[in-house]
Amino acid sequence: MLIVPSLITLAKDNNGTMYWPEFGWNGIGDLVPGQGYQIYMRGEVDDFSFVDLGGMRIEMQEKAPQWAHEIAPVHPNDKRTLVRVVNMLGQEVSIDNQEADTPLLYLYNDGSVEKRLSK
């Protein structure tokens, strides 16, 4: 059974354009196979089935392709980088603007902290 047009209240595509039959508005145009649509109905349709489109249906893969398994996992924390430098009060500071021998905390992306004296 096809959807009865009189039961459609509103239909929208992924771009937010609408088909609004109550006001004679069709901003969607023709439905494109493989695209997603949301349809708000006035009533239920119990025996709905998709029409055979002669091979135009997009088939989904049930599992990840082999090339996805071959990609080496890379985590952002694998490479240690400096996130920020703070003084002993926890205020972010610029290394260049500190007096000599000021204790500073160097915070890294892997959660480690180094305490150093400014130069």
Of the CA atoms within 13 Å of residue 27, those in its CB half-sphere come to: 12
Q: In the chain, where are the structural domains located? A: 1-49, 78-117
Beta strands in the chain (DSSP E): 8-13, 18-20, 25-26, 37-41, 82-87, 103-108, 113-117
Tokens 């929208």 correspond to what residue? Answer: 12
The band of 71, judged by pLDDT with boundaries at 50, 70 and 90, is: confident
Mean pLDDT throughout 1-23?
A: 82
Helix ranges (DSSP H) in 1-119: 66-70
pLDDT of the residue at 89 = 92
pLDDT recorded at residue 32: 79
Distance, in Å, from the CA atom of 103 to the CA atom of 96, rounded to the nearest integer, reads: 13
